[in-house]
């Protein structure tokens, strides 16, 4: 994640620097920044799901009992896992289609880029399953974990 984020910063800084000083901005920077962002999301979604920081509707959970809130968090993880599982096969087909295409400026095979959707789908399914297992085993209650809680 750190390397992807550093690469994204470097590419965007190249864009900003060249445009600020009136230099021609390399065409590949626009494309590469999009691809880096796709992979940043694909690799980050699992970690954010595991820590409970992906999407939370805390307002609703705070108004119901703890047991009902736990059930809501568990069902949300289950639905997310099912969604990730459902997305795997279409994402695989989407990735295979990219083998016949090239990116416009970098000339990379698009299956490398399209694979980010496959990675995202697999990670959503895997990390949702891990979250559900942790909740069922009592290791985690499904609430968001903050840095203070982890240390």
Q: How far apart are CA 78 and CA 113, in angstroms?
A: 28
Q: How far apart are CA 40 and CA 32, in angstroms?
A: 12
Q: Is the pLDDT of residue 46 over 60?
A: yes
Q: How far apart are CA 128 and CA 69, in angstroms?
A: 17
3-state secondary structure of 102: strand
Return the higher-pLDDT residue of 143 and 131. 131
pLDDT tens, residue by residue, 132-141: 999 999 998 8
Measure the CA dihedral 35/41/47/51, to 10°. 160
pLDDT tens, residue by residue, 63-99: 899 999 999 999 999 999 999 999 999 999 999 999 9
What's residue 117's pLDDT? 96
pLDDT tens, residue by residue, 99-129: 999 999 999 999 999 999 999 999 999 999 9
Q: How far apart are CA 92 and CA 10, in angstroms?
A: 30
In the structure, what pLDDT confidence band is assigned to residue 145 with cuts at 50, 70 and 90? Answer: confident
What's residue 86's pLDDT? 98
In the structure, what pLDDT confidence band is assigned to residue 151 with cuts at 50, 70 and 90? Answer: low
Q: Would you state the structure tokens that stand for residue 140, as one six-digit string?
A: 């985690």
What's residue 34's pLDDT? 95
């Amino acid at each position: 994640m750190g390397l992807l984020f550093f690469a994204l910063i470097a590419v965007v800084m190249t864009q900003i620097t060249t445009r600020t000083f009136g230099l021609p901005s390399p065409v590949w920077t626009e494309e590469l920044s999009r691809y880096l962002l796709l992979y940043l999301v694909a690799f980050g979604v699992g970690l954010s799901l595991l820590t409970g920081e992906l999407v939370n509707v805390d307002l609703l959970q705070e108004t119901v009992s703890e047991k009902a809130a736990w059930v809501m968090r568990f069902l949300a993880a289950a639905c997310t896992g099912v969604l990730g599982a459902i997305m795997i096969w279409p994402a695989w087909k989407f990735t295979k289609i990219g083998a016949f295409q090239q990116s416009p400026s970098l000339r990379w095979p698009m299956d490398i880029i399209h694979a980010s959707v496959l990675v995202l789908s697999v990670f959503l399914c895997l990390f949702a399953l891990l979250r559900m297992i942790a909740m069922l085993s009592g290791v985690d209650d499904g609430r968001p974990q903050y840095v203070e809680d982890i240390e």
